[in-house]
Amino acid sequence: MKLNLRVWRQTGPEDTGRYERYEVPDAEPEMSVLELLDTLNSGLLDAGEEPVAFDSDCREGICGACGVTVDGRPHGPAENTPSCHQRLAGYADGDTLRIEPLRAAVFPVIRDLVVDRSALDRVGEAGAHVGIPAGTAPDADSQLQDHDAAETALDFAACIGCGACVAACPNGSAALFVGAKLGHLALMPISSRDRAPRAREITRAAEEEFGSCGLYGECARVCPAGIPLRATGVVNRERLRAVFRRS
């Protein structure tokens, strides 16, 4: 089938950017959005034109690198699905797709569809790490953990840091990302030792980088890891707990 594309082109952070129109005459329903861009770039290279820059890595839905915006929705039309798994089966011959970068003030465009998501890294660097004393490894059964707590921690730890939650939020909030980090580390036996200082540092960094949570819920609808909306409530819970705990 033939698909018409409006793709955002921008040579660098200082460029104002613009949409360029392209045709992909040989798109297939089973293609992903990234494979559509691959096909487009193959044609551009054959014509001696500059290919569209975009990020991708594993293409298995676990790295978070591939995020783009399709028709105004981070990652694409299917809920809780990364761009690399968004298929074209829902489009018909002659349809038009608008593809642009993840849109958030805190994610400046580097080139075309590539954005700088280092603000998420700075939040992680502020406190999403674990200190373990050097020495003999503890026995496997010396750190007991409730099964339900472990399962919840794993659910939160599934966050891949793609930034779609920020782009989907009208306030540019990273509350889903921050709550997932705080939630899973607070529930693990070893990392919970630094729970209060971690909460203080991570929430401080998040407030410096991102907007406040408005409880719109758009973040949970686009999250490819399916992080539940209740993760946003973890942020305030851990912040308040840290006020009354010194460690």
Sequence spans of domains, the chain? 3-111, 117-244
Residue with tokens 């080139």: 111
Q: How far apart are CA 238 and CA 211, in angstroms?
A: 18
Task: Enumerate the H helices of the chain as residue ranges.
Answer: 33-46, 118-127, 147-157, 164-168, 175-187, 195-209, 218-222, 231-244
**Quick one: tokens of 90?**
């829902």
pLDDT at residue 12 is higher than 80: yes
Domain covering 3-111, topology: Ubiquitin-like (UB roll) (3.10.20)
What contacts 187, CB < 8 A, 6 or more positions away? 145, 149, 150, 152, 153, 156
Task: Yes or no: say if 232 and 215 are a contact pair by the CB < 8 Å rule.
Answer: yes
Name the nearest CA neighbour of 7 among 114, 165, 162. 114
Residue 115, SS3 per DSSP: strand
Give the whole-number percent of the chain exceeding pLDDT 70: 98
Is residue 205 scored above 60 in pLDDT?
yes
Quote the DSSP letter at residue 71.
T
pLDDT tens-digit profile of 147-171? Answer: 999 999 999 999 999 999 999 999 9
N- to C-terminal Cα separation, the chain: 60
Taking residues 22-37, report their average pLDDT. Answer: 97
Q: Which CATH superfamily is domain 117-244 in?
A: Alpha-helical ferredoxin (1.10.1060.10)
Task: Indicate if the pLDDT at residue 28 is higher than 70.
Answer: yes
Q: Which of 148, 114, 85, 169 is nearest to 179 (CA)?
A: 169
Beta bridge partners, 20, equal 7
Alpha helices in 10-93 (DSSP H): 33-46
Contact 240, 200 (CB under 8 A): no
pLDDT at 247 exceeding the cut of 60: no
Mean pLDDT of the 132-156 span: 82
Same fold, 3-111 and 117-244: no
